[in-house]
Amino acid sequence: MNDNRAHILIVDDELSMRQLLEYMLTREGYDVTCAENGRKAVSLVEHNSYDLLLCDIRLGDISGLDVLKACKKHHPGTVVIMISAYSTTETAVDAMNQGAYDYVPKPFNNDELLETLAKALKLRTVEQEKETLGDQLKQNLHFGMIVGNSPPMQHIYKMIVQLAKTKTNVLITGESGTGKELIARAIHQESDRRDHPFVAINCGGIPETLMESELFGHKKGSFTGAVQDKPGLFQQAHQGTIFLDEIGELSVGIQVKLLRVVQERMVRPVGGTEDGAVDIRIISATNKHLEKEVIAGKFREDLFYRLNVVEIKLPPLRERKADLRTLAQHFLEKYSKEIGKEISKLSSYALDMLQKYDFPGNIRELENLLERSVALSSTNIILPDSLALSVHKRRWIEGIKDRRFDLDDVAKGVSLDDIIEAIERAYLKKALECSNGNKNKAAEFLGISFRSLRYRLDKLNLE
């Protein structure tokens, strides 16, 4: 049982729908009460407390939104899910602005509805725990500018605190977009060097011909255009921290010169004859597998071991999905403020879409997605149809829709939801093609009702 003695109030003026929902939820172990109209529902919520209200928007007497208002007035902690065959984006937004957790269009998939109810009740429990934990939990959700409280991130936070007390060279590894620079900045801010410079260098963004001069500086007249002495980035980071991002992009020639700086903390400018001492903490980062680069002769082994005294491995976003809701809300609030919109939250269906996506671009991709969604949204809640991911994910699924699915792939790890969606999309498109766009005929070909076909086409944005 899943929260299974939760008490649910079902409100629907259609007898067959009430009976279906009551049977389905009772079988799942919930305590269920039914109301056949809005007035009875209002009376019930005035005198009783429910864990969840499942209410149709269109009722015979008063609107389901009126039941929602009454419920939230008397029991703000009750989770409310609205259902309707006639819902529009405006209705859904109105319901959620008044406190609904989500809305579910009819006809709904029974398993999906049960999953939505379970998630809603779980969220209610989490929110109650948050209130109990108060400020302590809020602090744990953020470490400096880093957002997340999943076990992998808690482990990294502990490493940051431990490493900040030392001068040890650190190598941060992880896929692009996982937030390697944020980790480096956190180590710097936690250290006794926090009041001195943090100098970040993108080793892949500086032309090789300029790299030596940029890193180590140059003397006047050392090359054409060197009209005065210029300190390098290592000198600028004196007493602070230097962050070498994309360290794997450095040429072998520059690696040789960098090795001396790492070993001796001495820098000789281009065209200079004397070394100058620098007091620096060195943190490097890469999205490459440096051990393989060493074996291939592309990265010096001695430099690798000097830089990789302690390694921090950042997990990709797909391996820390427990943080996705917090990250999404963080970026939603950030860009709502920057763009000047009052967008309060993502709907649970929009969040489900994010949860099912692998985010190959990691947190950077999520941030970019939320910024676009806020900019493009015409409502103050991010719904699935306003989530810019819809186009992006459709293209991704289109790429796999024609592949032959091999059951042996299961052992390697697959996304069943994506496979099923790809199959459903392919069959719907083929049925429409065979029926020359006649939806009644396409429904017959697929052995489903016209109403079910319309629902599926709308769900997959095929109309």
- Answer yes or no: CATH 1.10.8.60 is held by domain 320-391: yes
Please give the structure tokens belonging to residue 342: 């009052």
Round the average pLDDT of the chain to a whole number and report it: 84
Please state, in angstroms and as integers, the Cα–Cα distance from residue 281 to each residue in 187, 256, 442, 451, following that order: 10, 19, 66, 65
Q: Which CATH architecture has domain 7-133?
A: 3-Layer(aba) Sandwich (3.40)
Q: Band of the pLDDT at 182, cuts 50, 70, 90?
A: very high
Superfamily of domain 407-459: Homeodomain-like (1.10.10.60)
Q: Quote the CA–CA distance of 50 and 78 in Å, as a whole number.
A: 6
| Residues 6 or more apart in contact with residue 120 via CB below 8 angstroms | 52, 79, 81, 101, 102, 348
| CB environment 155-174: b (16+ within 10 A), e (fewer) | ebbebbeebbeeeebbbbbb
Whether 104 has a pLDDT exceeding 90, the answer reads no
Task: State residue 439 phi and psi, 5-degree precision.
Answer: -70, -35
- pLDDT value for 276: 86
* Side-chain-side CA neighbours of residue 463 (13 Å): 10
Q: Quote the CA–CA distance of 281 and 163 in Å, as a whole number.
A: 11
Q: Where in the chain is the domain with CATH 1.10.8.60?
A: 320-391
Q: Quote the CA–CA distance of 313 and 411 in Å, as a whole number.
A: 25
What percent of the chain is predicted at pLDDT more than 90? 40
The class level of CATH for 148-313 reads alpha beta
DSSP label of 317:
G
Q: Where in the chain is the domain with CATH 3.40.50.2300?
A: 7-133
What is the CA 187 to chain-centroid distance, rounded? 23
- pLDDT value for 19: 92
Between residues 344 and 27, which one has the greater pLDDT? 27
Whether 366 has a pLDDT exceeding 80, the answer reads yes
List, for residues 398-448, the tens digit of each pLDDT value.
444 444 555 666 666 667 777 788 888 888 888 888 888 888 888 888 888
List, for residues 307-323, the tens digit of each pLDDT value.
999 999 999 999 999 89
Q: Where in the chain is the domain with CATH 1.10.10.60?
A: 407-459
Residue with structure tokens 């990709």? 316
